[in-house]
Structure 1
Amino acid sequence: MMAMLALMTLSNVFANDLDKAVKPKTELSKQIYTLLEDNPFTVEDELVANVRLTFNQAGEIVVLSIEGTNASITSFVKSRLNYTKVDFAGKVEGRVYTLPVKVVAS
Structure 2
Amino acid sequence: MSGSTEGGDEPFRNASPLHDARYDPDSNQGLIASILEAVAVLEERPVAALREDPLHESIDAEAVEILLFGSRQDGGTSTAGQRVTFAYRGYLIRIHSDGRILLFDADDTSA
Q: State TM-score, norm by structure 1.
A: 0.30
